[in-house]
Amino acid sequence: MYFKDIIGQQDIKRRLIESAQKKVVPHAQLFCEQGGAGAYPLALAYGRYLNCSHPSDTDACGECPSCIKFDALAHPDLHFVFPIISRKEKKKEVCDDYLPEWRDFLKGRPYFSLDNWLEVMDAGNSQATIYAKESEEIIRKLNLKIYEAAYRILLVWLPEKMHPSCANKLLKIIEEPPTNTIILMVSEEPDMVLGTILSRAQRVNVRGISREEMTEALVNREMLEPEQAKEVAHLSEGSYLKALELINVNEENAYYLERFKDMMRNSWARNVKGMKVLADTLAGIGRERQKSFLSYCQHLIRENFMYRFQTNDLNYMNRQEADFAVKFSPFVNERNVFDLMDELAKAERHIAQNVNAKMVFFDLSLRITVFIRR
Ligand SMILES: [Zn+2]
């Protein structure tokens, strides 16, 4: 993780770099964010910068021995603490037991949430915690001699998940860490962090990513069209994670729209072969998606019916859907709108009741054949 990998946050980057250059580095810092703004990658890039042998004015060099060990997330003076699911039977009781998974996780993505990590750990309904046992590990590590680094870095993700007895044991070391040891904590719920820890750490507030910087990142990193990027940036509220979620939802929508078009065209053309192919396709996407597809179809039928009245404030369609409505809306009218809606709702119920999906979708297409020509 380098500063250049993090979207926006120029002010904080500048402040962190200055503190490193002036060698005025607070020994305990708490990076706070709402999630998805880049606090964790910032802290990690900062740790790298502090230890780089040839840093520039904007970033670490990427070539010195320290940077190379940071690339592998395997610097001997870089220690990770994060919430885990303790599994005694699998000998997974402290963070180091999860280190291989954690490194892969971090390398895969600069922006992530606790949910993402829980998925990797296969957490099910268990709560992730930084357990009391971790405090002994931390104290042991921080009392070792520093191997080679200018600064030993302890990077704590989500101190709000720390068991109180762990937090209490760490108070002394947070207040007065061994020489050249820097404790960087990253919190998404600073209000939940123990007050005694809060008061010992310097706070770094990481605000949401600005709309302009988010738009630019979505165009460059996610290959969005500028207009779409702007729309997503507007809805993302400064969180890159939320932006990615929105893109996924959009992709799902686009898929549903195409299948909806297939279905209507097949029915209009009385293309029985096409109906069979579509029923096969939809049978393969899983029950949950089948249900969302059918409720999406009802939404589109309703919108296309309303489209004829040209009341923009009653229309809830994105651009692709609206483009399609120009041609399709004349086919939805007073004579068939209720029957179409009923059939779609019935199909949705049947899917929920585990009726054979292939039959449900084929049957549906056949019935639409009758309604669509009214
Ligand atoms: Zn370097």
Between the CA of 141 and the centroid of ligand 1 the distance, in Å, is 24
Sorting pLDDT into bands at 50, 70 and 90, what band is 311?
low
The CA 184 to ligand 1 mean position distance, Å, reads 19
Q: What integer pLDDT is reported at residue 308 of this predicted model?
A: 79
Break the chain into its structural domains and give their ranges: 3-205, 209-248, 250-371
Least confident of 184-188, 237-241, 287-291, 307-311: 307-311
Residue 315: is its pLDDT beyond 70?
A: no
Q: What percent of the chain has pLDDT over 90?
A: 80
Q: At what angle do helices 319-328 and 287-307 cross, to 10 degrees?
A: 60
Rounded distance from Cα 46 to ligand 1 centre (Å): 12
Question: What local confidence, expressed as pLDDT, does residue 108 receive?
Answer: 80
Centroid of ligand 1 to alpha carbon of 118 (angstroms): 32
pLDDT in tens, 142-199: 999 888 889 999 999 999 999 999 999 999 999 999 999 999 999 999 999 999 899 9
Compute, in angstroms, the gap from residue 183 CA to the centroid of ligand 1: 20
- CA distances (Å), origin 223, targets 2, 37, 229, 336: 21, 20, 9, 40
pLDDT digits (tens, 9 = 90+) for 241-259: 999 988 887 788 889 999 9
Question: Measured in angstroms, how far is the CA atom of residue 33 from the centroid of ligand 1?
Answer: 27
In this predicted model, what pLDDT tens digit does every residue of 262-288 receive, in sequence order?
A: 999 999 999 999 999 999 999 999 988
**What is the CA(39)–ligand 1 centre distance, in A?**
21
Q: Tell me the fold of 250-371.
A: Zinc Finger, Delta Prime; domain 3 (1.20.272)
Which two structure tokens, joined as six digits, stand for 225?
Answer: 């069209």
Ligand 1 centre from 340 Cα, in Å?
64
* Most distant pair of Cα atoms in the chain: their distance: 83
Q: Are 91 and 97 in contact (CB under 8 A)?
A: yes
CATH number for the domain whose boundaries are 3-205: 3.40.50.300
Is residue 97 over pLDDT 70?
yes
| Cα-based angle 37, 237, 192 (whole degrees, multiple of 5) | 60
Distance CA(261)–CA(98), nearest Å, equals 47
Domains 3-205 and 250-371 equal at CATH topology level: no
Q: Say how many Å lie between the CA of residue 196 and the centre of ligand 1.
A: 35
Among candidates 37, 219, 151, which has minimal Cα distance to 12? 37
Pairing status of strand 181-187 against strand 28-32: parallel
| Cα 99 to middle of ligand 1, angstroms | 23
pLDDT of residue 314: 56
Compute the C-alpha angle 230/296/309, nearest 5°: 80
What separation in Å is there between the alpha carbon of 69 and the centre of ligand 1?
Answer: 10
Task: Output the pTM of the full model.
Answer: 0.73
**pLDDT band at residue 312, thresholds of 50, 70 and 90?**
low
Rounded to an integer, what distance in angstroms lies between the CA atom of residue 130 and that of residue 156? Answer: 10
Q: Please tell me the distance between residue 63's alpha carbon and the centre of ligand 1 in angstroms.
A: 5
Angle at 132 between CA 129 and CA 137, to 5 degrees: 105
Give the least confident one: 38-42, 43-47, 309-313, 336-340. 309-313
Q: 28 C-alpha to center of ligand 1: Å?
A: 23
Q: What confidence tier does 125 reach under pLDDT thresholds 50, 70, 90?
A: confident
pLDDT at residue 313 above 70?
no
CA of 38 to the centre of ligand 1 (A): 21
Separation of CA 146 and ligand 1 centre (Å)? 18
Residue 62 CA to ligand 1 center (angstroms) comes to 5
The gap from C-alpha 308 to its chain's centroid, in whole angstroms, comes to: 38
**CA 53 / ligand 1 centre spacing (Å):** 5
Q: Cα of 70 to ligand 1 centre, how many Å? A: 9
- Ligand 1: distance of its center to the CA of 143 in Å? 25
Cα–Cα dist 372/374, whole Å: 6
